[in-house]
Structure 1
């Protein structure tokens, strides 16, 4: 069948020969740049800025190309034009007093942008560059990009093109499209290693941006699973999701962005709950602080949904003994007065208690009003058109893990015991561990999402398990102590024991073992993780450079821990570079004050010779095509 398709596409010897020459030429090109980002947690403006400046690569290319021609200040102004062309054009144009000066600026800027575009396009075929160009300016751009300006006969020709761009009022749009093409070519492919959602204010804008991106893949994070699960109808995921949104004052994402009505939940909260300092929201990202009335409402909603969550979790634990989570049923451990709780033989006083709807005789049963509310919410999440648009994209581009160019991309961990032996989950009498565990969980997630099964079926319960289960690769801890953090002051009760993976990943032998589990050559491979913020003073590069952790604190909630504003990782033909970013202020400040956020680049691994397309996964596919074409040629 494959041979027949090739014969149809390349019917003559000349066509086959031309394609072989083309593919072999592509194989000799330098490897294009991949960028890796993780744990954005709704911080759209910082994420968008890093995409626009290509993790500092655009600034670096401007320095390389125009060193000696532009002053550092002029380079910076030019760089921000490339990042934010529409906004910077308005500012720059306002500084000109006459049209002749503005026209000359346009002509100079055309030249500079075309030079930069040509410099960024050297890794690519002309056909690939053409696809990156704005359709309305393809002909004009190619003429100016590849023109022979040494030929006297064509000087007037090129001058006429640029003059007409200005005279026909297309100069601004031409500049904007050139800038966007440069942004696109500097980073060829983007990897997102999970946790787009929760904590920050605009995960929906991040998803919209990613859906417009030219080439991207997504690995699911534990926070993302809550939103995938909510869209699939998991009431456990919905309750956890809403509790986190209330905790970080992000309920507007649910209501305004995804059109989910929280009125019934609000009425329930108002009826049963009062002011409670333990459930006051964290206000990390807000500039306009909520009023006292709004804070009181959020605090009550926070309590109501937390209690619904704890009840639903108790039900899931009972129906899924194979999850081995009985120790996480805590409502029945409260004393009669609900003033204390005994855990692991130790009694703790309860603080900030809010157990008004908990029946001591049946603590995990929802009262009729709670059941009505969670059913209404489930219906709203399942039928949210915008949420499903984003989650459909997540399913299309996402996975539990990805093997790409000898790198294993995993949000969290590969569950192991203290000796580095794989740990797993037993379902229906079969033990799943390592790669098989990831594959099982991905299969179940896809099944639950596609078929929107009942709330209490195994596939849907496994969505919640991915969020909090003891051997979930996305969670990576033995226990999630949510209940204890709300109701127990003693911080020793809050401890969440991490999986041994997080200790062992500092060791090269262990990383090599994990790479082999996923079919990667340990001599050349790496594991790239997000999920765990790298604490101030610690290195994100571990196991002799084979393990890279790129959660550096895009989320403002983690920046006190990390001391920075995030990491990105770049992988180009020269090797791997880790980029450290300073905390982002605001988009308006960046545009007006030219405040960039790249701080330092650190070489992780440098190639002795530049890596070519032939040495990549795409190269493997192209070589296979060349082989098939040669076989076809032999048969002609």
Structure 2
């Protein structure tokens, strides 16, 4: 039976809502609060991708909000401060402790400097916090100084002599010796408020030396989501104990001179691998396995590194061969290469040709059973697997990837993912087989994500094993949306001189990004409107120095991987793109290479080289225009129904 146009289900729901808002007054107050939030300017979203372990550059971009802090300073001070003073203030906000140490060495009147600086920071805080409710700002305040900071950044209409009131507070802060702590607190509050939400579009790991530091920072970040990249997925597989993923991670870490990430960062012992390498490859120069990067290593360290590099590479090729044989549906038989080697001649037959191998010393490979690990190799992998599974810090970092991460995300009308949506040459969605079913488009992403989560949470050991193994496939498979190439030619790059064998053909997706029909088809597939939406994409570096633009398809697609990793900067010509989406529109930032935090403080340099407006909103966007705003409007509608139910006598107030 329906009462006054209300169904039983609606009435039941409203009775549950009444537990939270038991009176007309409380429901009315919440409606007013939510309505005020809906009409505030939308918070700033910050997009970063392909960080690849470059912690210092990542930390700086996080501190400066890709230019958002500098814009707030300009908004507050305009032409009333010199360019040098504004630059100095920005540096202080980014690195308050470090900057003050330099100032104290040069400044004669520190009391005056403290007073001027505190007033400037207070003004920046006021404008930075103005788009949020007092409640939200209050939650962001450092506990020790929350009350005083709130007094300083809140207009006090009841105070007649405001200047004297604020002077008294500031003078007291200085007199009791808390100026430096207060400056640090205000600077960190500005950093916290200038970005409302952070999007990481994948590839936190590999290449650079500090992914574990990045993950520590993200664990404490106030609001973020992560779209997994192929380099993140292989670490997730390794943390779940998938041995081909473990071998891949160790190989990349050795190759880029980053074993300290594993040893010091995660406490994973590399001694068993080093012992294997010295036992088996003692007299092998391992010339094909030279290390990358400019790490300061001794000749002995470099020699051991090359031997370890070869040892783990051979193990990886064996483990991958086992997986490919186990799952014919992966369609990767062409990646099983060890049985194609003629071990007597030192050649290999692939792509219809015979190639001479640059290195034909394979003491651990049995030509009759080339994919079988030797007992010593098996022991190394068992030890490594146990170390990865039982590393508390690594598991904590993976927990963050699982709780805040996905393969893709639809957020405020934009579609975010790391790699691609696999397509056929004609632009249609490619059918991809995942174990016993075929998927395409959004359904492919969803199916793969389900299996990734099974690697960590499934109770059925068979399903859990499939989940672990799918992590390896997503890393390197020809139809993986995160890899997006027909093959990963790791073996060829080590062992074959002919660079034609090194070619990795990209999925047609990348050549069709300027085709509006194809892009609109992707929007529809993920439930988005074809006008006003954007694909924000990482994974493939944009070669700015060759004239390539990150803005594609009339602004509908934004590829923001511009080379955060130092390893890519020679190719890209810059040090990465980042994206800001604020209440005024979308702003793309191209970054210069980052020297160091020390240089940034000493020279007062920033790394935003130029900013380009991708789209300006015709009117300032409000919280009500966002996904969160839609949820708030729905809650307002429900609360209004609750008010009506109180007034109609369907629900009784609880005083």
TM-score range, shorter chain: over 0.9
Number of the residue aligned with 2:90: 79
2:364 equivalent among 357, 362, 370: 357
Contact persistence 1:229–1:237 (CA under 8 A):
yes
1:25 is aligned to 2:36 = yes
Change (3 A) 1:356 1:440: same
1:220 is aligned to 2:228 = yes
The 1-side partners of 2:498 and 2:464 are apart by 34
1:610 equivalent among 591, 606, 620: 620
Contact persistence 1:316–1:456 (CA under 8 A):
no
Number of the residue aligned with 1:159: 167
1:374 is aligned to 2:381 = yes
Number of residue pairs matched by the alignment: 630
Pairwise CA distance, 1:240? 0.6
Change (3 A) 1:344 1:68: closer
1:592 is aligned to 2:592 = no
Number of the residue aligned with 2:9: none
1:198 is aligned to 2:209 = no
Number of the residue aligned with 1:556: 566
The 2-side partners of 1:399 and 1:371 are apart by 33
Number of the residue aligned with 1:313: 320
1:68 equivalent among 49, 54, 79: 79
Q: Does the residue aligned with 1:544 lie in a helix, a strand or coil?
A: coil
Contact persistence 1:352–1:487 (CA under 8 A):
yes
Number of the residue aligned with 2:280: 272
Contact persistence 2:237–2:469 (CA under 8 A):
no
The 2-side partners of 1:74 and 1:544 are apart by 39
Number of the residue aligned with 2:509: 501
**Matches of residues 471-620 of structure 1 in structure 2 within 5 Å?**
471-535=479-543, 536=545, 537-620=547-630
Q: Does the residue aligned with 2:402 lie in a helix, a strand or coil?
A: helix
Contact persistence 1:303–1:354 (CA under 8 A):
no
Contact persistence 1:220–1:399 (CA under 8 A):
yes
Change (3 A) 1:167 1:338: farther
The 2-side partners of 1:378 and 1:312 are apart by 13
Contact persistence 2:142–2:185 (CA under 8 A):
yes
Q: Does the residue aligned with 2:84 lie in a helix, a strand or coil?
A: helix
Q: Does the residue aligned with 2:535 lie in a helix, a strand or coil?
A: strand
Q: Does the residue aligned with 2:198 lie in a helix, a strand or coil?
A: strand
The 2-side partners of 1:190 and 1:559 are apart by 24
1:39 is aligned to 2:50 = yes
1:121 equivalent among 129, 135, 151: 129
Number of the residue aligned with 2:144: 136
Pairwise CA distance, 1:553? 0.6
Q: Does the residue aligned with 1:527 lie in a helix, a strand or coil?
A: strand
The 1-side partners of 2:330 and 2:16 are apart by 48
- TM-score (norm: length of structure 2): 0.94
Pairwise CA distance, 1:5? 3.8
Q: Does the residue aligned with 2:106 lie in a helix, a strand or coil?
A: coil
Deviation larger for 9-18 or 357-366: 9-18
Deviation larger for 155-164 or 337-346: 155-164
Q: Does the residue aligned with 2:342 lie in a helix, a strand or coil?
A: coil
Change (3 A) 1:128 1:231: same
Change (3 A) 1:397 1:338: farther
Q: Does the residue aligned with 1:300 lie in a helix, a strand or coil?
A: helix
Deviation larger for 454-463 or 220-229: 454-463
Residues 123-155 of structure 1: CA deviation (Å, up to 9, x unaligned): 111111111111111111121112448955555
Q: Does the residue aligned with 1:441 lie in a helix, a strand or coil?
A: helix
Pairwise CA distance, 1:107? 1.5
Q: Does the residue aligned with 1:603 lie in a helix, a strand or coil?
A: strand
Change (3 A) 1:616 1:256: same
Instruction: Give the unaligned 5+ runs of structure 1.
Output: none
Contact persistence 1:233–1:455 (CA under 8 A):
no
The 1-side partners of 2:480 and 2:518 are apart by 19
Deviation larger for 250-259 or 148-157: 148-157
Residues 559-613 of structure 1: CA deviation (Å, up to 9, x unaligned): 0111001110011111111100000001111111112111000011111111111
Contact persistence 2:455–2:464 (CA under 8 A):
no
Number of the residue aligned with 1:399: 406
Instruction: Give the unaligned 5+ runs of structure 2.
Output: 1-11, 647-655
Deviation larger for 168-177 or 146-155: 146-155
Residues 374-424 of structure 1: CA deviation (Å, up to 9, x unaligned): 111101110011111111111111100001011111100011110111113
Change (3 A) 1:456 1:262: farther
The 2-side partners of 1:398 and 1:428 are apart by 23
1:290 is aligned to 2:297 = yes
Q: Does the residue aligned with 1:314 lie in a helix, a strand or coil?
A: helix
The 1-side partners of 2:396 and 2:287 are apart by 37
The 2-side partners of 1:292 and 1:424 are apart by 50
Residues 344-394 of structure 1: CA deviation (Å, up to 9, x unaligned): 211111103342211110111111111111111101110011111111111
The 1-side partners of 2:481 and 2:628 are apart by 28
The 1-side partners of 2:525 and 2:341 are apart by 44
1:236 is aligned to 2:244 = yes
The 2-side partners of 1:64 and 1:113 are apart by 13
The 2-side partners of 1:567 and 1:294 are apart by 36
Change (3 A) 1:2 1:193: farther
Change (3 A) 1:455 1:349: farther
The 1-side partners of 2:163 and 2:550 are apart by 53
Number of the residue aligned with 1:258: 266
Change (3 A) 1:86 1:158: same
* RMSD of Structure 2 on Structure 1 (CA): 1.6
